[in-house]
Chains A and B, each alone.
Chain A
Amino acid sequence: MIKAILIFNNHGKPRLSKFYEHYNEDTEQQIIRETFHLVSKRDENVCNFLEGGMLIGGSDYKLIYRHYATLYFVFCVDSSESELGILDLIQVFVETLDKCFENVCELDLIFHVDKVHNILAEMVMGGMVLETNMNEIITQVDAQNKMEKSEFFPFFSFSLSLYRRLSFSLPGRTGRHRQKNVSYCHV
C-alpha cells in the first residue's frame, strides 16, 4: 500500500502532499522535512530507493523517488508494493501531468494543486493503485474538467526556475524536449 505521496522542490518547499494514512499535522510536516532531508542529499547516480526513515519508516517501509528538474516526486510505500513498479508509476504520473498541463513545470503544480490532486485521485485511490494507463487517467480527468470553464493562467514575475520543464524522456518525443531542458539548465 502507498502510505503517502509527496512532491517538493529542490529547496524542500512542498508542492503536494497526500497521505493515505492518518498522521497528525505536525508529524506530516516532520515527515515532509525528513523525507526532503533524506532525498536531497542523494546524488544523481545512486539508486532511487531509500529505506528507514524514522517517522514514516520502520523496516517495512521505503521511499521510492524520482527527481525531475526542480521537483522530487516521492512515494512512501510498504513492502507490498513492487519497487520498480512504483518507480514506473511515478513516471506515468509525471507523463500524465505533462499531458494535462502541456509541458508541465513547477508553476503548474503550484497553481493547480487541486487539479494535480484530481489526477492523482484517478491513479491512486485510498493508497491502492487504481489505474496505470495514462490515456485512461486523462479520459477520466477530462470528463470532470468538461464542466470546468477554462481559466487563464496567472503569471507573474516568478523566478525562471519555476518554469523549468520537468525533464523526463518520453518515447518518440525526446528530441524536442531535450533541447528545451538544455536552455534552462542553468537558470
Chain B
Amino acid sequence: MSDVVEKTLTALPSLLSLDSHPGSAKLSSTSKLGNLIRGITELTSKHEEEKLIQHELLAIKEQVSSPNTTMMKELMVRSIYCEMLGYEASFSYIHAIKLAQQGTVLEKRVGYLAVSLFLNESHELLLLLVNTVLKDLQSTNLIEVCMALTVVSQMFPKDMIPAILPLVEEKLNHPKEIIRRKAVLALYKFYLIAPNQVQHIHNKFRKALCDKDPGVMTASLHIYLQMIQENPEAYKDLTPSFVTILKQVVGGKLPMDFNYHTVPAPWLQIQLLRILSLLGKNDQSTSEVMYEVLDESLQRAEMNHNITYAILYECVKCIYTIHPKSDLLEKAAKCIGNFVLSPKINLKYLGLKALTYVVQQDPKLALQHQMTIIECLDHPDLIIKRETLELLFRITNGQNVTVIVEKMLEFLCISEDDHTTIDLVGKVAELAEKYPLKYNEWFIETMNTVFSLGGDMMQPDIPNSFLKLLSEGFDSVEEDRKLRLFAVNSYIPLLRGEPGKLPQRFLQVISWVLGEYSHLREDLEPAEVLSLLAKLLDMKNSSSETKSWVLMAMTKLCKGGADASVTQEVSETYSSSLDTVLRQRAHELQYLSQDPELRARVLPRGSCGNFAFVSEALAAGAAPYKPPHQRQEELDQSKALSLEPYGLSLPISMSSCSITDRQSPTLLSMSSGLSGDTLKLDGIKRVWGREGYLAQREPVEEAAQVEVPSPIQSPGRQGEGDSLHSQTPTQTPTPEPEQEKQQLASSLFVGLASQSSVSLMGKSEPMPQRFRRKAKGQGLGSSFIANEQISSSLISPPSAVDNLLCNNLLDSNNASELAEQTSQLSQSLTTANGTCHAEAELTESDTKGCNPALRRDNCVVAAGPGPHNDPGRLTEVCLDSYLPAELSGLSHSEIAPLCANQSLNLSACHVQKEDSLILVVFIMNSSESAIQQIPAGEVTSYSVAVGQYSLTVKRPAVHVEVVGTVSYQLPAGTSQSLQFSYKVPLTSFIRPFVVSTEEYGTMWLSFSHDTKQNLTLINDNQEPLTATLNALKKKLQLHVVEVIGMEGIVACRLLQDLPCLMHCRVNAGWLAVWLRSPVPDLPDCLIYHCQRALQSL
C-alpha cells in the first residue's frame, strides 16, 4: 500500500496544477497523454473511443505541423499510443522521420522508435531514413550508433542494404562489445532478407563466433543456426568448435554475469544444443564428437529450475535427433519420464511433445507412460489434450485406429478453435482413409462426423479424396458395393432429418453419393431420393455450388416416368436462374430427363471412374494419377512418419483377441526385433509369414528373416499346443474409472508393442541378452526306473542321447522377450546304462512346441496303429506313483497331459523344492512295441519313464514356458520326435525371503526397478491390511517382514538369489503397493500375480 501512497504523493503537484489551471493549454505535456488515457479508460463504448481518438488525432495533427513545436517527443508518444489502439496516424509518419533526423539524441530515440513502430520495410517513406541511418552509423556517439543498428535490424529497405553494409561490417571490429553484438544481429537480418548480399562476409561471421566476448559469440549463433538449418553439410567442420563452446559453458567457464539462477548461460546452451542436433542428424561421425558433452549436459542440468528443464528438453531432443547411442538414449528416455510425470503442467506439455517426437523411434516409451497419456487425454487443459492426440496420431495402427479416431472426434466436438478443428479434421480423415477396408461402416460413420464437424472450414481435398476412394474402390467388388451401400444408407436418414443443419460440403458429398450409388439400395425408389434432393434446393442457406451438385445428382437419377414431375419442376425453376452454372445444370437436367437414351450414353451407370480424357491427358504429357495409398505413402515419407510397424514386424491380425487387462499391452508385444545372431534356426521351419501360414516351404536359412509366430495370431492352433486359454488374463479388481482407463490404455496402445522390441532407431545393436539356463544334472535314479529296466526313451540321433529342448518361453503376455531368451537346458538322466548328458538348444521359432509343419514332418511315420489304451485314464491312475521318491513328500502340481501320439504319451508336473523347481516329465509308451533309446535302453510297451529337470529363471515373466522335444527310435529303426510345452506360473518360483527391517531398508534403496499399483483390500474383518497380506502370503509364499500401522513390508525372492521387496500402504480403501527389485520385469510380473491372487479370493 505504501507504494501507491508514495506515487500518489509524487503525483500531487500535477493534480494540484490540474485543479488550479483548468485550461487544457496550460497543462504540462505529459498530462495531456494522461488526459487522453484517462478519457479512454472512462469510456464505455467502442464508438465513444473512436470519437475521442479521432479528436485527439486532429489535435496532434494541428500541433505537429505548427513550425515551432517544442513538444514533438510527447506528440509522438501520443501518436504511438493511438496507433497501438488501432487508429491510423499516418500524418505523423513523416514527422517521426524528421524527428529521427534532426532532433536531439533523446528526440532521435523517440523518432526512431516511432518509425520502427509505424513503418514497414516496404514503406516508401523509409527511403528518407537511409541517410539518417548512414549518418548515425558514423556518429561518435555510441548511443546513436546503437539506435541506428536497432532500427536497421527491425526494418531496412532491401535495395538500400549495399549502401550501409560496409559501415555495419566495420562495426564488427568496434571496440565496444554491445556495438559488435548489434552489428552481428543486423547482419543476420540482412542475411535473412537478402542472403546473396552478405555472402562475401561469411568469414566475418566466423570471426564473430570466435569473438572474445561471449555475448557477441552468442549473437553469432543466431546466424549459424539459420545457416546450418539451410545447409548442414557446409558447417560440419565447426562441430568441434560448438562442442568445445558448450563444454566450456556447461563446465562453468563463463563469467558469473552469464549465470541465470546459477545456471550458466542457459539460452546459449539451448542454442548450441539446437545447432548440434542439426549437425549430428544422420551423421554418425559428427554425432560421435558430441556424445560426451551431451552426456555432461544431461548430468549437469540439475532439476531445480524451469530453465534447466529447458536445457534438458533440448538435450533430449538432440540425443534423439543425432545418430543414436544407446546409453544416452536410455538417459534421455528417463529424462522424458521426468517431464511426463512432472506435476508442473508446462513440463508435462513438453514431455508430451518430446514423446511425440521420439515415439516413432522408440514406441516403448509411449507404452511406459501409457497411463499418464490416458490421464492427459482427460486433462482439463485443451492444449495438453491436443498434444496428447497428436502423440496418439503418431502411434496409430490398424488396431487402435478406431479408439484414437473416437478420441479425436470427441475433442473436435469441444474445440472452438478453428485452426485446431481444421488440423484435426484433416488428421481424422487421413487416418480414416488409411484404414478404411477393415471397418467399412466405421469409415463411413467417421467420415460423416468429420464432414458435419469440420463443416466448411476443412481442406477441400478431404471430401474430394473421400469421393475418390468411394468411386475407385478397393480390390474387392463386393466390399466396394457394401461400402457404397452403407454410405447411401447413412445419408438417407440425414436428409430426412434436418439437412439444413449440415454444412454445404457435406451436402455436396451426400448428393454426389446419392446420385451415383443410391441405386444400390433396392428398396429405395429414385423418386424418393429425387424429392429429398429437391428439398435441398429449396433450402435458403444452400449455396449455389451445393445446388449445382444437387442438380447433377438429380440428372443422374431421373428416369422419366413418375419422377418426371419433380425434375420438371426443378428444371423449370432453375432454368431461369441468374446463376449461369445453375442454369446450365437445369437445362441438362431437363433434356436428359426427357431423353433416357441420351442420358444412358452421357452418364453410363457405374462409370464414374472411367474417363477417356484421362488417357488423352496422359498422352499430352500430364502427370500420371497416383492412387490414394501411394499418395498416402508419399505423405508419410515426407512427414517422416511411419505408421506401420517396422519392417520385421508381424502381420497384423490381432484384432480378434480381446484385451482387458493392464498386462495386455505387453500381451501383444510379440517380438519382432529378432536378433538373428543369437538364434540358431537350423532345422526349424518357417511356418508363419507375412501372408499367414506358409505351407511347408523350404527350411529357412537366414535367421533374421524368421517371423515369430504368435500364439495369439493363430487361434486355430491354440488348442493344439497348450493351455492358452487358461492364461487369458481376467479382469483385475480395480475400481470402475481405473478400469476404464486401463481398458482405454489397452485399446490405445495395442499393437504398439509389436514394434517395441525393435532396437532403438532401428539399429541392430543386440539388446537382447542371450540367456542360458543350466540345469544341474538331476539324478533321475529312481529305483523304479532301475527296477523296471526302463531306459530313457529319448534319443537324439546325432548325440545319441536324449534331447530335451527347453525354452523359457515367456508367457504370451510377455512374449516380447521371447526371441531374446533362448534357454538352454542341459539335463542328465540316470538310466540303467548310466548318466546321459545332453545339451540342446531350442530356437525361437517353435515356441509353444506346436510347430505343425515340423511335427507333421517328423511324425508321419508312426509305428503302426498300436492299440490305444485310454491314456488319460492311465495318467490319472498311475502316474502319481511314478513320481520319484525323493520328491514324493513335496507338494507337486497336478500332473497334466502334455501331448501324445500313437506311441508316446507325455505328461508333466512341477514340484516345488525350497531352492529350486523341479520339472518332472513322464514319458509313457502307449504302443505295443518297445521304444529304443540309443545307445541302449528302451521303454517297453505300456511302461513309463520319468525325467526330472531343475528349472531356474533368469528373466522373470508372468508365466514361464518350457518347450521340449522328445526324440526316440521305434523298433523299426525310424527316428521320431515329439514336441511338448509346459507352462509354469512365476509364483512357483517365488519363495519367502526372510530379512530384517533394517536389511530391507538398505536393499530398498539399492534396487532400481520398481512398479506401483493399487490393489483391492480384503474388507471382511477388522484388519484389512493384515488380512490382505496374509492372503498374499498364503497364495504367493511371501514373507511379511513387518506391519506398522497402515503400512506393511513384504519380501520374497525368485528361487534363491533374486529378491523382490514390496511396500504396502492402505490408502483410501485401496492397498497401494510399491514393488522394487534389482531384476527388471520382476515387479511387474509379481504385481500381476498379486492381482490374480486377491481376485480369486
Binding site for B on A (CB under 8 A): 14, 16-18, 20, 22, 25-26, 28-29, 32, 38, 42-43, 45-54, 57-59, 80, 82-85, 87-89, 92, 103, 110-111, 113-114, 117-118, 121, 125-126, 128-133, 135-136, 140, 143-144, 147-148, 151-160, 162-163, 165, 171, 180, 183
Contact = CB atoms under 8 A, between A and B. Distances in A.
Contacts of B13: 152
A29 B86 contact: yes
Nearest to A22: B120
B904 interface: no
A170 B40 CA distance: 33
Interface stretch (B199-207, B401-409, B415-423): B415-423
Contacts of B83: 25
Contacts of A51: 383, 386, 420
B346 interface: yes
B154 A126 contact: yes
A46 B306 contact: no
A162 B423 CA distance: 39
Contacts, number: 193
B281 interface: no
A58 B205 CA distance: 32
Nearest to A179: B1
A126 B186 contact: yes
A43 B423 CA distance: 24
A144 B309 contact: no
A66 to B, nearest CB: 11
Interface stretch (B103-111, B463-471, B1084-1092): B103-111
Contact of A83 (B80, B310, B345): B310
B88 interface: yes
Q: Which 5 A-B pairs have the closest CB atoms?
A: A155-B11, A84-B310, A126-B153, A52-B419, A46-B381
A111 B30 contact: yes
A121 B151 CA distance: 10
B81 A113 contact: yes
Contacts of B307: 84-85, 88
A155 B7 contact: yes
Contacts of A111: 30, 33-34, 37
A49 B383 contact: yes
A128 B380 contact: no
A157 B34 CA distance: 10
B267 interface: yes
Given A42-B381, A52-B420, A84-B307, 6 more contacts: A14-B84, A25-B88, A47-B349, A125-B182, A140-B178, A151-B30
B215 to A, nearest CB: 7
Contacts of A128: 153, 185, 188, 219, 222
Contact of A47 (B38, B88, B182, B345): B345
Contact of B34 (A22, A85, A154, A165): A154
Given A52-B420, A155-B15, A143 B34 contact: no
Contacts of B41: 158-159, 162
B113 A130 contact: no
Interface of B: 1, 3-4, 7-8, 10-15, 18, 28, 30-31, 33-34, 37-38, 41, 77, 80-81, 83-86, 88, 105-106, 109-110, 113, 117, 120-122, 143, 146, 150, 153-155, 178, 181-182, 185-186, 188-189, 215, 219, 222, 225, 257-258, 260-261, 266-267, 270, 274, 306-307, 309-310, 313-314, 345-346, 348-350, 380-381, 383-384, 386, 417-420, 423
Prevailing SS type, chain A contact patch: mixed
A156 B38 contact: yes
A16 B117 CA distance: 11
A84 B386 contact: no
Which of B18, B28, B146, B386 has its CB near the most chain A CB atoms (within 10 A)?
B146
12 contacts: A38-B417, A111-B30, A111-B37, A114-B110, A125-B154, A125-B185, A126-B188, A130-B185, A144-B143, A154-B11, A156-B18, A159-B41
Given A51-B386, A156-B18, A180-B1, A84 B313 contact: yes
Given A22-B121, A85-B307, A156 B15 contact: yes
B1 A113 contact: no
A159 B84 CA distance: 21
Given A47-B346, A52-B417, A155-B7, A87 B306 contact: yes
Which of B84, B274, B307 has its CB near the most chain A CB atoms (within 10 A)?
B84
A50 B10 CA distance: 41
B310 A88 contact: yes
A147 B11 contact: no
A85 B267 contact: yes
Contacts of A29: 86
A155 B14 contact: yes
A130 B188 contact: no
A126 B266 contact: no
A118 to B, nearest CB: 7
Contacts of B14: 152, 154-156
Which of A20, A88, A111, A163 has its CB near the most chain B CB atoms (within 10 A)?
A88
A103 B6 CA distance: 12
A129 B30 contact: no
Contacts of B37: 110-111
A155 B10 contact: yes
Contacts of B261: 171
A84 B306 contact: yes
A50 B109 contact: no
Contact of B1 (A32, A151, A183): A183
Given A85-B310, A135-B257, A125 B153 contact: yes
Contacts of A133: 257-258, 260
A46 B258 contact: no
Contacts of B185: 125-126, 128, 130
Contacts of A151: 30
Contact of A117 (B31, B113, B219, B266): B113
B346 A87 contact: yes
Contacts of A155: 7-8, 10-12, 14-15, 34
Contacts of B7: 153, 155, 163
A85 B270 contact: yes
Contacts of B85: 14
A82 B270 contact: yes
Nearest to A25: B88
A130 to B, nearest CB: 6
A165 B4 CA distance: 9
Contacts of B81: 113
B117 A54 contact: no
Nearest to A32: B86
A52 to B, nearest CB: 4
Contacts of B181: 130-131
Contacts of A148: 106
A69 B651 CA distance: 58
A54 B309 CA distance: 29
Contacts of B260: 88, 92, 132-133
B11 A82 contact: no
Contact of A85 (B122, B266, B345): B266
A117 B386 CA distance: 35
Contacts of A18: 117
B617 to A, nearest CB: 34
A157 B8 CA distance: 9
Contacts of A50: 383
A46 B380 CA distance: 8
Contacts of A54: 418-419
A123 to B, nearest CB: 11
A53 B270 contact: no
A113 B182 contact: no
Nearest to B417: A52
Nearest to A26: B86
B267 A129 contact: yes
Contacts of B219: 128, 130
A163 B84 CA distance: 21
Contacts of A25: 83, 86, 88
B993 to A, nearest CB: 44
B38 A158 contact: yes
